[in-house]
Amino acid sequence: MTSATAADYGWIRSSTSPFQYALEVGYTLTLVRGVSPAELFRIAGAEPRDPCDGLDELIKEHSELFYGSEDWPESILTGAFTVPGTGGQWTLALEFGGELGMRESFMKALSSGTRAVSHSSNGGKPMDFFHWYEDGVLRTTFEWAADRTGSTPDDLNAVMRELGLDPDGDPDPGTDTKAAVLALAERLTGVRLTADLLANSEYQSAEVPEEPAAEWESVTIDITDAHGERTYAHVRRDQL
C-alpha cells in the first residue's frame, strides 16, 4: 500500500479544483486493475462515443446529454482512461450523477480475477459510499466508517484509523472524510488522483444505460393508524 493521507487530497476543496463539479452534482469514480476502458464499457453494456479531451469537455458532453432530454435520460455519460498503479495499469472511470460503481452485478463482473474500488457522492445530499471488490467478492463497503459490511468488513480497519476514519465510532473532527476516502482508494490501488490528472487526461467516453428496475412479484402493506388499528395486506402482482 502507498502512504497516502487525507492531507494529500486537500486540493479537492479548492474553489478551482476540477473535483468541485463532481462534489456538487454527485459522482461515481471506479478504479479497476488490468481492465481496459473498452472492456469496462463492454461489461457495462455501454455505447462508445468520441473521446473527450480533458475534464471540461467531459463535463460539457455530460451536461448536454443529461440536461438535453425532456425526460430523465436513459443513459449516463462515463469517461475512462488508463493510469499506472500498484501491480500494473488501472482504468479510472468517472461519471456524474450515475451509479455504475455501485451496481453489484457490474462490480462483481468487473473485478473477476482482479481488484476494483469505487467511491461516490450523491451531490448536496449527505450520502457517500465506498466499495472494495476482490475477484468478484465485495470485501468491504460503507457509508459511515463504523457501519461496514462485506465478506471482510474489518480488513481495512487499521488503515482507516490512520486516515482518521474511525471504524469504531465517529470520524476524527479534524478529518475531511471525503479526502480520507480518496486516500483509502489510493492505498488499495496505488493510483494517485491529482487535479492535473483529472483535468488534462483524454477520456474514452461511452453512454452507460440506466440499470433496469428490478421486477417485483408482490407488495406488503402494513399501516398502524393513530388509534392503534393495524391494516395489513399482502398483494401479489397478478392481483392488481
Q: Rounded to 5 degrees, what are φ and ψ at 25?
A: -100, -15
Q: Which three cell numbers stand for residue 224?
A: 398502524
* pLDDT higher than threshold 90 for residue 223: no
Per-residue pLDDT reduced to its tens digit, 13-51: 999 999 999 999 999 999 999 999 999 999 999 999 999
Provide the pLDDT confidence category of residue 213 given band limits of 50, 70 and 90: very low
User: Poorest-confidence range of 8-22, 27-41, 50-64, 163-177?
Assistant: 163-177
Provide the pLDDT confidence category of residue 157 given band limits of 50, 70 and 90: very high
Provide the pLDDT confidence category of residue 214 given band limits of 50, 70 and 90: very low
CA distance 100 to 40: 11
User: Poorest-confidence range of 12-21, 65-74, 105-114, 126-135?
Assistant: 65-74
CA distance 108 to 132: 10
pLDDT at site 163? 95
More confident residue, 74 or 81: 81
Question: What are the DSSP calls for 170-233, one per residue?
Answer: SPPTT--HHHHHHHHHHHHH-----HHHHHHSEEEEEEEEPPPPPP--EEEEEEE-TTS-EEEE
More confident residue, 129 or 215: 129
Q: 189-203 in b/e burial notation, b at 16+ Cβ within 10 A?
A: bbbbbeeeebeebeb
Query: Whole-model pTM?
Result: 0.85
User: CA nearest 91: which of 123, 65, 114?
Assistant: 114
* pLDDT higher than threshold 90 for residue 176: yes
pLDDT at site 174? 85
Three-state SS for 89?
strand
Average pLDDT over residues 164-170: 89
Q: Residue with C-alpha cell 465517529?
A: 170
